[in-house]
Structure 1
Amino acid sequence: MTKQSSKPAPGAPPRRARPGTDAPARPADPGHANTLAASADLLALRAQLSRAEKAARRAPAPTPARAARPQAPLKPQRQAELGGVSTDDFSLAQAHARLRDAVYDGRYHLCPHAIGHARAEGFLEHDVLNVLLTGRVRAVYTQERRWLVCGYFEACGVALPLHVVAEPHRDGHVDIVTAFVPKHPHHIISRARLAVMLRYDDEHVRARTAHAGNRVGHRGKGRWKKSA
């Protein structure tokens, strides 16, 4: 019995390599590698552009700067009305700090004139206190030692302006002299107008009974005439 040889016969075709055996590696295609690199670069560039567009949309647009309007000079009559009224920032800030401390400590008194305006114009005590705490001191009446505080209160879902006049005392208490809904919210009331309002606004309407008699310039028998 003869032993078969594993060597291929001369002239026979070469055998294929079995799977799992080491096969010679094919040389890499340089064109295909360049195409993959270009595709990766393009995807990265698109991602960067997309992130930049999202960041630009999220960033708030800069507010255009408004040109400051030149303030018109006050008329001589208005300058005379504002005599004795201080509007500098230091006085207003100091007055507002003292006012808030007095309200927080409960050292305030609501005067009858303010109560009468509240009943007539439809605001309450907490509306007045809210203006004193969150409003803005617009003027200081130096001679009367009073402050004008401007703010807003809400009635039926509508914000209405409310001005409050407060008078401080040396012991830290504050009298709420009056409060009213102004006709011109941004107008600082003058000292003379404030004095007139405090003097005459709280007067009651007096009724008088008319007696039967002659009208002026007419002669009669002293009786009422029937209307037509």
Structure 2
Amino acid sequence: MKIEEFRHRIAQGKYLIKTHAIQHALKEGFERKNMLEAVEKGKVIENYPQEQRLLICGTTYLTEQIAIYLHIVCEYSEEYIEFVTAYIPDEYLWENPPFKRRR
């Protein structure tokens, strides 16, 4: 699935943010709106079509002056999108910008 289709479904309200994603958001200091903004501005960095799962990386603003990258793991079906988890990428595991895993 392409990112444009994700964005379209989100605009239609056809998404669910799972508890695990909310827990990460609370723990790491971001909110639901940040996840939505990151998907809106982001790009697919890993695609697992057989699992109907994507990893999206995008930027979001915590304040007017503080921008961060978020990774959002999404699963999809014909009906809707699930935000499985979301997190701030670890700089030791991801290159800068965090679009590619370090080897």
Tell me, in whole angstroms, the C-alpha distance in 2 between the residues paired with 1:149 and 1:126: 15
Match of 2:39 among 119, 132, 141: 132
Listed as ranges, the matches of 1:181-220 within 5 Å are 181-183=88-90, 184=94, 185-188=98-101
1:186 shift after superposition: 2.6
What SS does structure 2 have at the residue aligned with 1:170? coil
Q: Corresponding residue for 1:160?
A: 68
Tell me, in whole angstroms, the C-alpha distance in 1 between the residues paired with 2:46 and 2:60: 20
Mapped contact 1:138–1:188 kept (Cα < 8 A): no
Tell me, in whole angstroms, the C-alpha distance in 1 between the residues paired with 2:38 and 2:62: 14
Over the matched positions of the two proteins, sequence identity in percent amounts to 33
Q: How many residues align?
A: 95
Tell me, in whole angstroms, the C-alpha distance in 1 between the residues paired with 2:10 and 2:81: 8
Matching of residue 144 in structure 1 with residue 57 in structure 2: no
1:188 shift after superposition: 4.3
- Structure number, greater radius of gyration: 1
1:166 shift after superposition: 0.8
User: Structure 2: any 5+ residue segments left out of the alignment?
Assistant: none
Q: Corresponding residue for 1:123?
A: 30
Q: Corresponding residue for 2:7?
A: 100
Tell me, in whole angstroms, the C-alpha distance in 2 between the residues paired with 1:131 and 1:158: 14
Q: Corresponding residue for 1:178?
A: 85
Q: Which has the higher strand share?
A: 2
What SS does structure 2 have at the residue aligned with 1:120? helix
Tell me, in whole angstroms, the C-alpha distance in 2 between the residues paired with 1:174 and 1:100: 10
Tell me, in whole angstroms, the C-alpha distance in 1 between the residues paired with 2:88 and 2:9: 23
Structure 1 pair 188–96 and aligned structure 2 pair: CA distance change class (3 A): farther
Q: Corresponding residue for 1:194?
A: none
Mapped contact 1:166–1:175 kept (Cα < 8 A): yes
Tell me, in whole angstroms, the C-alpha distance in 2 between the residues paired with 1:134 and 1:155: 14
Aligned partner letter, 2:100: H
1:107 shift after superposition: 0.5
Alignment deviations for residues 173-193 of structure 1 (CA, whole Å, 9 cap, x no partner):
00000000001223249xxxx
Point out which structure has higher relative CO (alpha carbons under 8 A, 6+ apart).
2
Mapped contact 2:41–2:59 kept (Cα < 8 A): no
Alignment deviations for residues 92-114 of structure 1 (CA, whole Å, 9 cap, x no partner):
xx421210111000000000110
User: Structure 1: any 5+ residue segments left out of the alignment?
Assistant: 1-93, 190-228
Structure 1 pair 99–182 and aligned structure 2 pair: CA distance change class (3 A): same
Aligned partner letter, 2:88: V
